[in-house]
Structure formats: structure tokens, C-alpha cells
Amino acid sequence: MLYIALKILMADRAKYTGLLLGIAFTAFLVTFAASYFSGFMTRGFALIAENGAADVWVMDAAVESVEQTTNMPDSALDRIRSVEGVRYAVPLALGTVDARFPNGRFQTFQVIGVDDATLVGAPVLKDGGVPIVLRAPDAAIIDDGGTSGKLVTPVLETDQWPHDGVHLEVATRELVAGDELLANDQRIKVVGRSETLPRFPPRPLIYTTFSSAARMLPQERHLLTFVLATAEPGLSPNDLAHRIHARTGLRARASEDFKTDTVRWYLVNSEDVGDMAAMLILAMSVGFGVTGVLLYIFTYENLKQYAVLNAMGATPKVLLTMIFAQAGICALIGSGLGLGLCGLVGEVTAKAGYPFRMMWFTPLLGAIGVLIVSLTAAAISARPVLKLQPAVVFAGR
């Protein structure tokens, strides 16, 4: 009977192709939406991902993510370094500053101050240069941080630092090494550009040394935001985090745990995440609706064939098996097509700079979702099949 079910399924090639395309579209839509959402979330902890050498992140006890932070006393660094099991610990400063461009335009930057001695946390330059250039006075490496068209300066020298007001509507070019900005009445000398992981929310970045960050940022009592600690060989990051918390009272999290904390914080606090989640739910609802309707219509249009089989002695159990087998085969083939298409489109999307990241669970979510909806639609469409009387077919009604 399974062979007959397949013959019924493939008898009308146009309907069968349409059914597969509908299911493939659903799998593509759900997987793409979930992967896009995952891309935003992974961009949220880009700063943690960039500092892979850090085993433990130490912060104020109230900090729950890299997005919303408060600073600690400078003495916290020495307290952390004194904890047994800490191989080394370096400071990291985060802050926000409005930097003015030579034509008078201003732009908000996130300032990332790295350790002066080790430069841990500094990015590699686009041209392959090393971040040692940050040791020059007032030096900074800039990064677009997922934005576009923000880091530009006037082409003509007459439009740079003019005395007759701002020159906003002038020809511009990309910032390069040697250009200058002004922040908090302090000169910022661009020594290079980097290409780090894009941020969520997108924002231009300034990488500089801890001492330079103290001059660039508005004056605060404390500047230390995080301490990046590395464990001695043989000591796990989680064990070191527990030790630091017990000795200092500060919040200490292993890098992977801090990534999870940051994602959780975004899910709870970010309004943008709520909008993206609504779009994801809408996409899944539309896709599931398309799959369910197509499967129901397909089964309904083949009621006469099922009635004939019933008249020939096919039991309700056999008919149910045929319907669910058809739905399962369509779901599996359609899901494969949809996931393959999502992978291809995702590659193009990611190269274009969009936050697409197909993680291990996103294709699984799409396939399972399509399978559940397909089987549910099959169960609903089976009801008229089981209630249909063969006499209705033979009577020509």
C-alpha cells in the first residue's frame, strides 16, 4: 500500500512539485529567520569572541552583559592578580565618546582601551600590521563595527578643520592611517583600521591603550570595566571564576558562560530582539500555514482514490498509514531542498555583511517544524478520508 501511496502522491506532477516547493519554502523561511536571529545574538557578544585567550571575565557584581556595564576601582586588578590560579590578568576599558571629524561632523564611538604593556584585546590591522602601533601617543585603531559609511573624512584639505563653520556637504573618503579625529578635546591619531567582528547594535569602534582611553573618555572616577584573566595550566575556567568570586566578591564568568549571559540579557532587555522575535514568529506562522494548507488540499483532492481503496478492503489504519507516509516523504524531501537553498542564500547574505549565522540548531528547528506541521496537517486531512463513504464515489457525487 505504501507503493500505491507514492503513486498517488506523484501521479499529478504539477501538484506534487507545488507541494514540495511549498514545503521547501517553509523550511527555507523558518531556517533563514532563525539563522538571522542567531546572527544578531552572536554579534551581541562579539567582544567576548574576539578575546578568545581570556578564560575568565571579571566585572562589577551588577554587570550581566558586555552591553550594559559599570566600572570598578583600579585596585580590583591587583586583587584579581593575587588570586591563586591566575596566570595573568589584564585590564579592559569600555566607554562611549562623541568624536568630531575634520569637517565638523561628529559620530558616537565605543572606545575599547586595552592593556598598555601587553596590548591584549587589540585587533590586527586590515593590512596585516601588528597592533604595536597603538603605543604611539594618542594612537587609535578604528573599526566600522558593522556600520557602513560612518568613517569618512573630507577629500580636500580646505574642508578639514575649517575656521568658517562645518563643511558637511563635501566630498569624502575613507579614514586611513595618518588622519585625525577629536574627542573630549583630545587629538586622536588614526594609525590603522581593523576588521573585527560586527557588533549588535552596530557602532564604530576605537581601539586604543588604557592610558589613552583615560584621556579620550569623559572624566570618571573609575575606568576599569573588565579584567581578562587566564587560568594556570590544569585549572578550568569555571573553577578559576569561582575562586575569583569567592576572594574578591566581584562577578567572574568563564568566557562561554559570559556569552550565554549576554544573549540572555539581550533576550530580556533589548527591544530590537523583541521586534526580531516577532518577525521570526510571523515567518514561521506563514510558512507553517502554507505547508498545512497545501497538504490538506492535496489530500482533499484525492478523496475519491481513498474511497475506492476503502471499498476494495483497505482498513482505516492502512489509509492513515498512506496519508502519513505521503506527508512524511514530502516533509523530508521539501525540508532538504529548503535547507540546501537556505545554506546557499546564507553564504551570499553573510558575504554581503548581513548577520546570518546558521548554527547547529537552526536547520534542525526548520526540519522538525516542517515535519510537525506536515504530520499535523495530515492528521487533520485524514478526518474526511475516514468519514467518506465509498457509495458517494460510486454514485458519482
Any alpha helices (H) in the chain, and if so which ranges? 2-11, 13-44, 46-50, 75-81, 210-216, 237-248, 255-269, 271-301, 303-311, 316-351, 361-387, 390-394
Name residue, grid cell 581601539. 207
End-to-end CA separation in angstroms for the chain? 26
Classify the C-alpha dihedral 64-65-66-68 as positive or negative: negative
Average pLDDT over residues 121-141: 89
Contact between residue 253 and residue 45 where contact means Cβ atoms under 8 Å apart = no
Q: Cα(134)–Cα(119) distance, rounded to whole angstroms?
A: 8
CA–CA distances in Å: residue 69 to residues 35, 93, 104, 343, 355: 28, 10, 30, 36, 24
- The answer, yes or no, to whether residue 224 has pLDDT greater than 70, is yes
Residue 13 CB-density burial (10 A; 0-12 exposed, 13-18 middle, 19+ buried)? exposed
Q: What is the pLDDT of residues 287-328, one digit of tens each?
A: 777 777 877 787 777 777 777 777 777 787 888 888 888 888
Q: Which residues contact 344 (CB under 8 A, 6 or more apart)?
A: none
Lowest-pLDDT range of 327-336, 355-364, 371-380: 371-380
Q: What share of the chain in percent tops pLDDT 90?
A: 52
pLDDT of residue 279: 73
Cis peptide bond upstream of 201, omega within 30: yes
Instruction: Fill in the DSSP letter of residue 269.
Output: H
SS (H, E, C) 138-170: CEEEEECCCCCCCCEEECCHHHCCCCCCCCCCC
Q: Choose among 219, 183, 215: nearest CA to 108.
A: 183
| Number of other residues whose CB lies within 10 A of the CB of residue 6 | 14
Q: Cα(31)–Cα(25) distance, rounded to whole angstroms?
A: 10
Contact between residue 323 and residue 382 where contact means Cβ atoms under 8 Å apart = yes
Contact between residue 130 and residue 124 where contact means Cβ atoms under 8 Å apart = yes
pTM (two decimals) = 0.83
Interior angle at CA 368, CA 365 and CA 374, nearest 5: 135
Average pLDDT over residues 227-255: 96
Residue 128 grid cell: 596585516
pLDDT of residue 108: 95
Q: What is the pLDDT of residues 144-175, one digit of tens each?
A: 999 988 999 999 988 998 888 899 899 999 99
Average pLDDT over residues 176-200: 92
Residue 185, sorted as left (phi over 0), alpha (psi -120 to 50) or beta, turns out to be left
pLDDT of residue 328: 86
Average pLDDT over residues 41-60: 94
Contact between residue 229 and residue 54 where contact means Cβ atoms under 8 Å apart = yes
pLDDT of residue 181: 95
Name residue, grid cell 533576550. 267
- The answer, yes or no, to whether residue 283 has pLDDT greater than 90, is no
pLDDT of residue 1: 66
Residue 358 grid cell: 546558521
Residue 84 grid cell: 591563586
Local confidence band at 333 (pLDDT 50, 70, 90 cut-offs): very high
Name residue, grid cell 585549572. 235
Local confidence band at 381 (pLDDT 50, 70, 90 cut-offs): confident
Q: What is the pLDDT of residues 107-120, one digit of tens each?
A: 999 999 999 999 99
pLDDT of residue 336: 92
